[in-house]
Amino acid sequence: VMDAPLGLSTGAADIFANTGGVMEAALRTVHEIVTGRPLPFDGLRVKPIEGLEGVKEASLTVTGTLPEWAFLEGVALNVAVAHGLSNARRVIESVRDGRRNYHFVEIMTCQGGCIGGGGQPRLTTEEVRKARIRAIWQEDEGKKLRKSHENPDIKRLYEEFLGRPLGEQSHEFLHTEYTQRSLV
């Protein structure tokens, strides 16, 4: 048995680096859990939430739900993706003042997502940023496993320790709540 110190990753894990990647990874898994089928998009790509526009929106209507998810049949899931703090502010203000209603929002502070962040080599041009983003999408497309819930290491973690997603054990170890702390 070979040791994999960084673990096995899926294409969904790779695309977390790009703006829109967290949303797309989540939608791949949610759609399959709720309907039993993969996302009905070419190559599992949700094009409306990809790209370098500051704010991107999509509405995906859920159809053909499994019986336990029947309450979601016909629901239009409204999602938004923003990168850069000024764009994040626009999304937050549009929700706060009632102009928009989203079920899920992804916000990344760095332009283009983490691929353009401080932990990456310095960008020399916008073309370099775009090339990095394309490379991440290509990495995803080349993976055998492209959905988060397909990762055998994560499946084993749930089977042997966490129980089930959103269960008591997984909630205790994977979720947190905001706690305001005074500055000393």
Instruction: State residue 8's pLDDT score.
Output: 82
| Number of domains comprising the chain | 1
How far is the CA of 64 from the CAs of 32, 172, 175, in angstroms?
Answer: 11, 32, 30
Please check whether residue 24 lies inside any domain of the structure: yes
Please check whether residue 175 lies inside any domain of the structure: no
Instruction: State residue 44's pLDDT score.
Output: 63
Please check whether residue 161 lies inside any domain of the structure: no
Please check whether residue 141 lies inside any domain of the structure: yes
| Residue-range definition of the domain harbouring residue 72 | 11-150
Q: What is the pLDDT of residues 7-40, one digit of tens each?
A: 788 999 999 999 999 999 999 999 999 999 988 7
How far is the CA of 31 from the CAs of 34, 74, 179, in angstroms?
Answer: 5, 13, 32
Please check whether residue 52 lies inside any domain of the structure: yes
Please check whether residue 168 lies inside any domain of the structure: no
CATH of the domain at 68: 3.40.950.10
Q: What is the pLDDT of residues 139-170, one digit of tens each?
A: 999 999 999 999 999 899 999 999 988 899 99
Please check whether residue 130 lies inside any domain of the structure: yes
Burial 101-121 (b: 16+ CB within 10 A, else e): ebeebbbbebbbbbbbeeeee
Please check whether residue 162 lies inside any domain of the structure: no
Closest by Cα among 50, 14, 65, 25 to 147 = 25
Instruction: State residue 119's pLDDT score.
Output: 86
pLDDT of residue 79 exceeding 90: yes
